[in-house]
Structure 1
Amino acid sequence: MKLIEGMTLAHSWLMACEHLLAKPGWVDTTVVLHIKEPTRVRQQDKAVADTLDGFLIAHEQYNSHTVAETIFPGYEYVRRGLDGVYKDYPDEIFPRIKGHPQFRHWGTYAHRLLRRTDGDGREYNPLAELIKKMRQKNPVRASYEIGLGFGFELATYDDDEDRGSRLGGPCLSHLSFKLIDKKVHLTAMYRSHYYIQRAYGNLLGLARLQAFVADQVGVTAGPLVCHSTMAVLEHGKEWGWKKGEVEPLVAACRDKTRETTPSVDTHR
């Protein structure tokens, strides 16, 4: 078990990669990232992200923004506002994603958060319902008891669809939002996490989702926690790069944190 406390997404991701490099087989269980300011992007953070994206693109993989969009359609939110998230993404964008050859295994998170069907066959929006509850001025006190305090839960694993698959399917299993001191906190649970191909993009998508919820509730974003029940620094033919390329990538990212000025900040 490893708890990693970092300031930003890139800072936390890089420390996790360095931790995994020291583990046998570059694998560890119960790796927990606690990111204090998930929406903050320092100059050196951008340099780390650009280095990783350059590596992924050179190996014909998706960049971090593309991975992030599978968790939350931030691009649609910027372009079209709330309708872009609640209507345009599920009605226009997702039908195109369904035709992708990897659709069964990846890319369905955002849709699962935005469109569900209840037991009576009625369609509803889980994310909108969650935000509606968080906006309530007088929430029922009993719902915050027995260790469940301040809890708002969204599940992404669907027993009906996913129970028959041994491999593939959603690695992001659960999202838990909390509203504490006018800040939205988010905890994400991953059943497995691949730190080169997916993890940074996953963190970016989660931070965008968290910022969206905070914006809709009228508060600010608090810390982001990401719990990987299995974390891997992956390599091999199935990934598209050799083991010998991983350590130089992590070292290059670390060098970027030394080359840039820590005091220059932006916000995502």
Structure 2
Amino acid sequence: MKLIQGTTLAQSWLDACEHLLAQPGWVDTTVVLHIKEPARVRRHDKAVAEALDAFLIAHDQYNSHTVAETIFPGYEYVHRGLDGVYKSYPDEIFPRIKDHPQFRHWGTYAHRLLRRTDCNGREYNPLAELIKKMRQKNPVRASYEVGLGFGFDLATYDDDEDRGSRLGGPCLSHLSFKLIGGKVHLTVMYRSHYYIQRAYGNLLGLARLQAFVAEQVGVATGPLVCHSTMAVLEHGKKWGWKKGEVAPLLVTCRGKTRNATPIVDAYG
């Protein structure tokens, strides 16, 4: 078990990778990241992300932005606003994603957060409903726990679709939002988490989702907590890079954090 506390995504991700590098088999259970300012990106944080992306692209993998888009459609939000998230993505973008050969195993998180069907066959938007609950100024008695920070949970694991699969399916199992002290807090759980190929992009997408919710509610963004029930520093033929390439990557990333100016860039 390891608790890692950091200020930014890049700092926390790199600390976690170095922790995994020191574990037997480069695997650990119950790795918890507590990221104080998930929307903050310093210049050396950006340099770390760029070094990781260069490694991933050189090994025919998706960069962190592409991974982030599977959790929250930030591109659509920037270019089309709220309609881009609630309408354009599920109605126009997701149908194209469904044709991708990896669709069954990856890339469905954002759609699961934006489109569900209830027991009566009625389609609804879980994320919009969550935000609506957070906006309530005078919650009814049954929802009073909103003030205590409870009642804002989203599950991405679907028993109907995922219960028959031993492998594949969503690694991101649960998202829990809290409205505490005028800030939106987000805690997520991963059943399995690959720290080179996916984790930084996952954190980026979650931070964008959290910032979106906070903006829609009209409050600030609080900490992001990510609980990986199994965290892996992956390598080998399946992933496209050798074990001997991982440590040099982390050394390069760590080098980006030294002697860097503390200027804060706009989050993007």
TM-score, structure 2 as length reference: 0.97
1:98 corresponds to which residue? 98
2:207 corresponds to which residue? 207
Change in Cα spacing, 1:187 to 1:264, as seen in structure 2 (3 Å) is closer
Measure, in 2, the Cα distance between the counterparts of 1:22 and 1:144.
45
Measured after TM superposition, the shift of residue 266 of structure 1 is 3.1
Measure, in 2, the Cα distance between the counterparts of 1:143 and 1:21.
44
Counterpart check, 1:233 vs 2:233: yes
Measure, in 2, the Cα distance between the counterparts of 1:62 and 1:94.
17
Corresponding letter in the other structure for 2:66: T
- Percent of paired sites with the same residue: 86
8 A contact 2:149–2:179 mirrored in 1: no
Post-superposition CA distance 1:213-252 (Å, at most 9, x none) = 0010011110000000000000000000000000000110
Corresponding letter in the other structure for 1:222: G
Measured after TM superposition, the shift of residue 71 of structure 1 is 0.2
Measure, in 2, the Cα distance between the counterparts of 1:158 and 1:142.
26
8 A contact 2:40–2:264 mirrored in 1: no
Superposed CA RMSD in Å reads 1.5
Measure, in 1, the Cα distance between the counterparts of 2:252 and 2:259.
11
Partner SS for 1:138: coil
Measure, in 2, the Cα distance between the counterparts of 1:76 and 1:134.
23
Partner SS for 2:105: coil
TM-score, structure 1 as length reference: 0.97
8 A contact 1:184–1:214 mirrored in 2: yes
Measure, in 1, the Cα distance between the counterparts of 2:140 and 2:233.
44
Measured after TM superposition, the shift of residue 181 of structure 1 is 1.2
8 A contact 1:182–1:220 mirrored in 2: yes
Post-superposition CA distance 1:119-140 (Å, at most 9, x none) = 0000000000000000000124
2:262 corresponds to which residue? 262
2:71 corresponds to which residue? 71
2:175 corresponds to which residue? 175
Measure, in 2, the Cα distance between the counterparts of 1:141 and 1:33.
34
1:242 corresponds to which residue? 242
Measure, in 2, the Cα distance between the counterparts of 1:154 and 1:187.
11
8 A contact 2:149–2:180 mirrored in 1: no
What is the number of equivalent residue pairs in this alignment?
268
2:198 corresponds to which residue? 198
1:82 corresponds to which residue? 82
Post-superposition CA distance 1:90-115 (Å, at most 9, x none) = 00000000000000000000000000
Measure, in 1, the Cα distance between the counterparts of 2:210 and 2:149.
18
Measured after TM superposition, the shift of residue 143 of structure 1 is 4.0
Measured after TM superposition, the shift of residue 262 of structure 1 is 2.1
1:4-83 counterparts in 2 under 5 A? 4-83=4-83
Corresponding letter in the other structure for 1:169: G
1:114 corresponds to which residue? 114
